[in-house]
Chains A and B, each alone.
Chain A
Amino acid sequence: MTLTIHGRPPASVAASDLLAVSGMSVSVPGRGRREQLHLLEDVTFSVGAGRCTAVIGESGSGKSTLLKGLLRTVGKGSRTTGRVHLDGVEVSDLRDREFAKLRGSSMALVAQNALAALDPLFPVGGQVAYLARRHTGGDRAASRETAVRLLGKVGLPDPERTAQRLPHELSGGMRQRCVLAMALACGPRLLLADEPTTALDVITQANALQLLRGLQHELGMSMLFVTHDIGVAASVADDVVVLYAGRVVEQGPVLDVLSSPLHPYTQGLIDANRPPAPGERWRAIGGEPPQPGQRAGGCAFAPRCAEASSMSRTQRPELVRVGSVTVACHARTGGAAAPLDPPPPGAAPT
């Protein structure tokens, strides 16, 4: 059975969702006067309570912009629209001053580049302690204890001594753990992870992922995990959102999407991540993703897609539910134009 939903589903939010984003668009000023570059368009997805959603896509697909949009840190002159529900509360209407209070305490960021994220001039313990004090109050001694406890919790050996050390004295894996401890210092409900393991070697990466997953369960947090690595997404996430050129092309439970991908782009990503058999070449997706501002009408992936039809080039495919996943592809949804009739009553939300 094929159920359809519209690009902008009703703003009703399932009670089990910690984060529900609907119709989020982000644009930044372009070079020309009044020109706006659309980095994200009409992105709708959710993160269940206690669950992990991975966002995958190539560089430039809008993954990091999504996190910045959620945190309202995109930058000057940018425009963010759409609805965001966090923990049952609509936060998209909050004034900046009110919204700032959510940063750290409701959602915290785990940065991609730990060396760049930490202050090189101060011991890591103090940096964790400051954020802890800011969010939970308490005196210096208490926050210092909290910092040491958190450093231990993220698996750093001898946290007492590690707290005294400077970022450049630690290894890459240890630094990443410090960054994680800083994010945890705020006691967030939602962890936003921006490719937190990309800079690490494979073994350290596996340990870090295990740690993240363990802490997520232990502390009852939800996690939005941005990565370009399908393998990482498969090992850490419950659900997956595939972004291409600022739009969601496919989403659903991670097993369903990765074992039987519907969208040709998802298939391409999986092929490109799979080591080739001896004598074969890596199967990269030919071509480049379009730059923001140069995205033509129709399916943004059409120029690189072997299955593109004439309709793909002229008409933008809408997200359509197929079984447990939703996908935006004319070739997969029978080539029919996006249905215009409203969804039947009681249709499952995305």
Chain B
Amino acid sequence: MTRYVGSRLLALLPILLGVAAVSFSLVHIMPGDPLDSLMDPQSTQAERDAFAAALGLTGSLPEQFFTWLGRVAGGDLGRSIAFRQPVLSMVVGALQNTLLLAGAAAVFGLLVGSVLGTLAAVHRGRALDRGVTGLSLIGLSIPSFWLGMILVALFGVTWQLLPVSGIGSGSGTDLLSHLVLPTLAVSAPVIGLTTRMVRTHVAEILEGQHVEFLRANGMGRARLLLQVWRNALPNVLTIFGLELGNLLGGSALVEIVFSWPGVGQLVYQAVTQRDIPVIQASLLLVGLLYVVINLAVDVGQTLLDPRRRSQVVST
């Protein structure tokens, strides 16, 4: 198992290199010279050259890339142009907030979606199933940012029940109360997708010969459902990983609606201000996190399914 994880980690290296190359070059694909928007139009050519050198914008593009990569490998992601502070701490702080929101939404969405999906699967073909499936379609199609604005209007403005902006003091119940509305907004599509996937998987297992055989030989209902769930678990884990990964970048609009100081908000500001180091570092770290989550899901699946486990051990 350790060897398996090790080899999977090793296989990540080329992917990470790709992530780095994309994060680096995206900024350079953007039209316009970054210097034009960053510098005073009256500045002299000497000033411009000095600034370009400070940003690592001299030399050919590959040269720039490898210089940048060298610095990044040493843990130096540069300084923000707009905020004049180290990029790393900024991005890591924002990423923590985003992970909190994405994690809360993924867990909440997964729990609700699993319960609804299982209910629908058990009552498949009946009114409850049709109702739940219809609701899940609505959840899937609602734009999160729109739902967010509705929640702000209702809970924040009309009823004034919950805070709608920022993260408050950033800890304890204050943080939790700030977390509720954005989590609801972000998790609607997660609930929708999870419900449908869980319904499909559980229904498939319920109709399989395994369940039929156990039922015919006297297995009780509750225990049977437990076993069905255990069999659906690897698939549920996959959904969870996919959703969590998607939410890292996908909740950007909701972050803006709720002024959530996450990485989506940060990148949005950085792009408008042409804060190149921040954009690059954010893309790089989000990409890195995405890859790591995927790896964790793969390893988790292997742990949950003995068939895959024995394959891993034998190779």
A residues near B (Cβ < 8 Å) are: 71, 73, 76, 100-101, 103-105, 108-109, 111-113, 116-121, 130-131, 134-135, 166, 168-169, 179, 182-183, 185-186, 192
Contacts and interface: CB of A to CB of B under 8 A. Distances in A.
A192 B213 CA distance: 11
A134 B222 CA distance: 13
A112 B210 CA distance: 11
A305 B47 CA distance: 101
Contacts of A130: 219
Interface residues of B, number: 20
A76 B310 contact: no
Contact of A168 (B213, B230, B307): B307
Interface string B122-157: 000100000000000000000000000000000000
A221 B19 CA distance: 66
Contacts of B230: 121
Contacts of B208: 116
B231 A104 contact: no
Contacts of A179: 213
Contacts of B125: 76
Contact of A119 (B210, B212, B218): B210
19 contacts: A73-B215, A103-B216, A103-B217, A103-B218, A104-B219, A109-B213, A109-B216, A111-B209, A112-B209, A116-B209, A116-B213, A117-B212, A120-B307, A134-B218, A166-B307, A168-B307, A179-B213, A182-B217, A185-B217
Main secondary structure of the interface of B (DSSP, over half): helix
B31 interface: no
A69 to B, nearest CB: 12
A103 B215 CA distance: 8
Interface in B214-263: 215-220, 227, 230-231
A119 B205 CA distance: 11
B224 to A, nearest CB: 11
A129 to B, nearest CB: 13
Contacts of A166: 306-307, 310
Nearest to A192: B216
B150 to A, nearest CB: 38
B306 A121 contact: yes
Contacts of B63: none
B216 A73 contact: yes
Contacts of B49: none
A168 B210 CA distance: 14
Contacts of B217: 103-104, 108-109, 131, 182-183, 185-186
B218 A135 contact: yes
Contacts of B305: 120-121
A100 to B, nearest CB: 7
Contact of A131 (B210, B212, B219, B304): B219
Contacts, number: 71
B210 A117 contact: yes
A62 B298 CA distance: 44
Q: Which 3 A-B pairs have the closest CB atoms?
A: A104-B218, A109-B216, A117-B213
Given A104-B218, A119-B227, A166-B310, 6 more contacts: A73-B216, A103-B217, A109-B213, A111-B212, A130-B219, A134-B219
Nearest to A67: B216
A217 to B, nearest CB: 22
Contacts of A182: 213, 217
Nearest to A117: B213
Contacts of A168: 307, 310
Contacts of A183: 217
Contacts of A111: 209, 212-213, 216
Contacts of A100: 218
A46 to B, nearest CB: 21
B216 A71 contact: yes
Interface string B301-312: 000111100100
Given A121-B305, A166-B306, A116 B219 contact: no
Given A76-B125, A168-B307, A117 B231 contact: no
Contact of A117 (B209, B306, B307): B209
Nearest to A184: B217
A99 to B, nearest CB: 11
A131 to B, nearest CB: 6
A121 B231 contact: yes
A76 B129 CA distance: 14
A73 B209 CA distance: 12
A339 B218 CA distance: 43
Interface string B280-315: 000000000000000000000000111100100000
Nearest to A131: B217
B209 A105 contact: no
